[in-house]
């Protein structure tokens, strides 16, 4: 198969910027569990113990790093897609009526094209070959 360098560069940019986008939230669970607890109470309607927040954050960081490295692409890209889909859907009321939440309500819409991007990346994961552990292993 002929290499499509522009596509591969585009997918790498999507992978790394999405990893950075999600990493902020994972690190927040570790360094500020109280904030994560507020987020869970508000959007997931459940109490999250501080220790659980830290454990979830560490697990997410491991998945994000594997994803950023292009490792176990089906599983890590799928996990990232699911994580972001759940996060986006948990704010459904803000998406339906963004103006009711005040000026900040519009910011929730940033998650929608981001969800589209991770879905596209999941569908094109076999073409995401630059700086990818899986792609390097398959060339051997």
Residue 115 resides in a domain? yes
For 108-128, letters b (16+ CB in 10 Å) and e give: beebeebbebbeebbeebebb
Output the furthest CA–CA distance in the chain (Å, rounded): 55
25-61 residue pLDDT tens: 999 999 999 999 999 888 887 888 999 999 999 999 9
For residues 130 and 34, is the Cβ–Cβ distance under 8 A? no
Count of structural domains within the chain: 1
For residue 11, the enclosing domain spans: 5-132
Percent of the chain residues topping a pLDDT of 70: 99
For residues 33 and 53, is the Cβ–Cβ distance under 8 A? yes
Residue 97 resides in a domain? yes
Confidence band for 139, pLDDT divided at 50, 70 and 90: confident
Residue 128 resides in a domain? yes
Residue 24 resides in a domain? yes
DSSP string, 44-59: I-S---HHHHHHHHHH
2: three-class secondary structure by DSSP: coil
Average pLDDT value for residue range 122-131:
96
Residue 43 resides in a domain? yes
Residue 75 resides in a domain? yes
Task: Name the pTM for this structure.
Answer: 0.90
Q: How high is the pLDDT of residue 103?
A: 77
Residue 140 resides in a domain? no
Whether residue 104 is predicted with pLDDT greater than 70 in this model: the reply is: yes
Residue 137 resides in a domain? no
């Amino acid at each position: 198969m002929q290499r499509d360098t522009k596509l591969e560069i585009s997918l790498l940019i999507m992978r790394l910027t999405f990893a950075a986008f999600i990493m902020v939230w994972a690190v927040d669970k570790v360094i500020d569990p109280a904030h994560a607890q507020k987020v869970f109470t508000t959007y997931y309607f459940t109490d999250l113990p501080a220790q659980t927040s830290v454990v979830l954050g560490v697990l997410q960081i491991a998945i994000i790093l594997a994803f950023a490295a292009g490792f176990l692409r089906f599983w890590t890209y799928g996990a990232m897609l699911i994580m972001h889909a759940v996060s986006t859907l948990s704010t459904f009321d803000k998406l339906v009526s963004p103006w009711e939440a005040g000026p900040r309500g519009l910011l929730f819409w940033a998650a929608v094209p981001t969800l589209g991007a991770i879905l596209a990346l999941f569908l094109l994961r076999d073409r995401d070959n630059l700086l990818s552990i899986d792609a390097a292993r398959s060339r051997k």
